[in-house]
Amino acid sequence: MAALLKKVFGAVLTRSSSSSTLSSPRTASDSDDAAIDDGASMGAFDRIPTDVIMQILRLLGPKEAARACVVCRAWRFLAADNRLWIFFLQSGREPYDTVVFSETHLRSGFPLKMYFDHTPQLSFMQIYVQREKVPGSIIIDGGSGYCKYGWSKYASPSGRCATFLEFGSIESPMYPRLRHFFSTICSRMQVKPASQPIIVSIPICHSDDTESARASRRQLRETICSVLFDMNAPAVCAIDQAVLALYAARRTSGIVVNIGFHVTSVVPILRGKVMHDVGVEIVGQGARKVTGFLKELMQQRNINFESLYTVRTIKEKLCYVAADYDAELRKQAQASCEVAGEGCFTLSNERFKAPEILFQPQLGGMRAMGLHQAVALCMDHCAEAEVGSDDGWFKTIVLAGGTSCLPGLPERLEKELHKIFPPPMSDGIKVIPPTYGVDSAWFGAKIVSNVSTFLEAWCITKKQFRQKFRRTAPLINSW
Ligand SMILES: Nc1ncnc2c1ncn2[C@@H]1O[C@H](COP(=O)(O)OP(=O)(O)OP(=O)(O)O)[C@@H](O)[C@H]1O
């Protein structure tokens, strides 16, 4: 069918390319039965209803539709119709709501501008074509525990590695360590860094708003760029890990709660900017502590296991967050799972006791705020700061990090926040589970790297970097 239509269209395209004097096109929605163009005769094709032509264009696909655009004004009018290109975008690799989010919120680069608020509506054909032209990028989300890497045009990360085992902490802005890290990832991906832009996540570190913390953050960013440009990357884009997780949830403002490998960070972000001046909260309980506490609980019950990896696997398969801890203690919670090569493991209330340290760290012998208290503190700071025209922006709480995949966690956090805040402050609080699980930041980077304006709006080239670096040596002041 498509081949036949292609043939017919081919005939029309060839014939009509010789017709040059066409009158103005009608609007595609004018009349279904209207001839396509008054001034040019295309024989029987003139009598084809617009809807049918649209359907044919849909079947032929974007390449042929784009070709039809260059035939004449009338054809261009039909083939450039937004509805046709929305259809193509909807049938594309990326979810359409992600495309809409990125093209309306992220086109401008940073600082973000809501695109459709300020400019006339864009042509969706243009968006489609520009997105197709965006080169693929290497995405590296170097978490402090696990690194996720892969090609931006792929559906998910192509690989993962244990950063903490292989590279130590990448928070330390050490040139040789970063160089070793980036070159190892590139060789695992079997790509040359010089062949495409590289997008990296910047870890949530030096969270204070002091001059020295700002300098450390700038230095880390600068060292990442130096390393990548020394490896001949043509362009680099470096974005905070929490901001990427927020974009993955298709939001530009809110509080990101990243339950990381070592620590949990509560990060207020307004229009894509981390509000360090409002206050980033860091609490000591992260994924490692949950695994460690589960290990202790299993040992107390004389459950034997081979390694911490076994415990981690059991945690991922069996653990959950109780909606009401005390009520859960009175319930039967026994469940079993298989661990490859080690057999079957059965847990009972350890299943929810271990993750409970996120909310009650004292259970695991830690003196720290509970997750809900840290989020509430951050919300208080945001409310006091009175920044942003939307006074409820900080009521959207986006979860990120592998541990936030624990079943029941979003519901429990929301419930605890409602207990802490009376109305009207509690009105509209919404905790959003991690859409892409453990890979939130990687997917946020994928969304950015596929924006039609990615190269010019989000990347810095070596030349631009060197110019900035020279002007403000030894550190770049703003970027
Ligand atoms: N479904 C799951 N349930 C519970 N825990 C999970 C699940 N999936 C992954 N995890 C845990 O998440 C942890 C890894 O989290 P993640 O990959 O987000 O860390 P990271 O990105 O290295 O951390 P950081 O934000 O500190 O850089 C591991 O301990 C893993 O066991």
Tell me the per-residue pLDDT of 390-428, one tens digit each, with 9 for 90 and over. Answer: 779 999 999 999 999 999 999 999 999 999 999 999 999
Same-domain status, 95 and 210: no
String of DSSP letters for 456-472: III-EEHHHHHHHHHHT
- Residue 46 gets which letter from DSSP? G
Tell me which residues have their CB closer than 6 angstroms to ligand 1: 143-146, 203, 258, 260-262, 287, 291, 312, 315-316, 401-403, 405-406, 438
* Residue among 140, 141, 146, 439 to mutate when testing ligand 1 (max atoms within 8 A of CB): 146
* Residue among 403, 406, 409 to mutate when testing ligand 1 (max atoms within 8 A of CB): 403
Residue 2: per-residue pLDDT = 54
Same-domain status, 208 and 331: no
Domain assignment of residue 478, yes or no: no
CA 203, CA 141: separation in Å to the nearest integer? Answer: 9
Same-domain status, 158 and 276: no
Please report the atom of ligand 1 found closest to the CA of residue 400.
18
Report percent pLDDT > 90 for the chain: 75
Domain assignment of residue 271, yes or no: yes
Nearest to 65 by CA among 96, 94, 44, 86: 86
| DSSP reduced 3-state for 455 | helix
Containing H/E element for 304? none
- Quick check: 314 and 347 in contact, CB under 8 A? yes
Rounded alpha-carbon distances, angstroms, from residue 42 to 57, 69, 77: 17, 15, 16
CB atoms within 10 A of CB 31: 11
415: domain range? 254-284+368-434
Residue 37: per-residue pLDDT = 44
Same-domain status, 317 and 330: yes
- Cα–chain-centroid distance for residue 90? 19
**Residues in the chain where the model's pLDDT stays below 50:** 16-39, 118, 472-479
CA 40, CA 20: separation in Å to the nearest integer? Answer: 8
Same-domain status, 22 and 71: yes
CA 99, CA 106: separation in Å to the nearest integer? Answer: 10
Domain assignment of residue 152, yes or no: yes
Q: How far is the CA of 312 from the centre of ligand 1 (A)?
A: 10
CA 119, CA 125: separation in Å to the nearest integer? Answer: 16
Residue 97: per-residue pLDDT = 95
Same-domain status, 9 and 45: yes
Q: How far is the CA of 199 from the centre of ligand 1 (A)?
A: 21
Q: What is the pTM of this model?
A: 0.89
Domain assignment of residue 476, yes or no: no
Rounded alpha-carbon distances, angstroms, from residue 14 to 21, 108, 140: 15, 39, 46
Name 51's Cβ contacts closer than 8 Å, sequence gap at least 6.
Answer: 32
Same-domain status, 278 and 291: no
ipTM for the whole complex? 0.98
* Residue among 144, 163, 261 to mutate when testing ligand 1 (max atoms within 8 A of CB): 261
Same-domain status, 304 and 445: no
Residue 477: per-residue pLDDT = 33
Same-domain status, 95 and 195: no
Domain assignment of residue 479, yes or no: no
- Quick check: 318 and 406 in contact, CB under 8 A? no
Q: How far is the CA of 38 from the centre of ligand 1 (A)?
A: 63
CA 200, CA 465: separation in Å to the nearest integer? Answer: 16
Same-domain status, 264 and 393: yes
CA 195, CA 137: separation in Å to the nearest integer? Answer: 9
Tokens representing 195 are 């062949």
Last residue of a domain, one of 316, 343, 364: 364
Please report the atom of ligand 1 found closest to the CA of residue 288.
29
How many domains in the chain? 4
Residue indicated by tokens 């990615």: 454
| CA torsion, ordered 98, 104, 107, 110, to nearest 10 deg | -100
- Quick check: 260 and 402 in contact, CB under 8 A? no
CA 251, CA 393: separation in Å to the nearest integer? Answer: 10
The DSSP bridge partners found for residue 335 are: 347
Q: How far is the CA of 117 from the centre of ligand 1 (A)?
A: 37
CA 350, CA 296: separation in Å to the nearest integer? Answer: 10
Domain assignment of residue 477, yes or no: no
Last residue of a domain, one of 133, 150, 176: 133
Residue type at 194 in one-letter notation: A
Q: Read off the pLDDT of residues 251-275 as tens digits, 9 standing for 90 and up.
A: 999 999 999 999 999 999 999 999 9
Pairing state between β 235-240 and 198-202: parallel
Residue 389: per-residue pLDDT = 74
Last residue of a domain, one of 133, 162, 188: 133
CA 241, CA 453: separation in Å to the nearest integer? Answer: 21
74, HSE (Cβ side, Cα atoms, 13 Å): 25
Tokens representing 255 are 């509080």
Residue with CA at minimum distance from ligand 1 atom 29 = 287
CA 355, CA 144: separation in Å to the nearest integer? Answer: 20
Helix orientation angle between 96-105 and 440-449, rounded to the nearest 10 degrees: 70
- Cα–chain-centroid distance for residue 428? 23
Residue 391: per-residue pLDDT = 78
Nearest to 192 by CA among 231, 236, 226, 237: 231
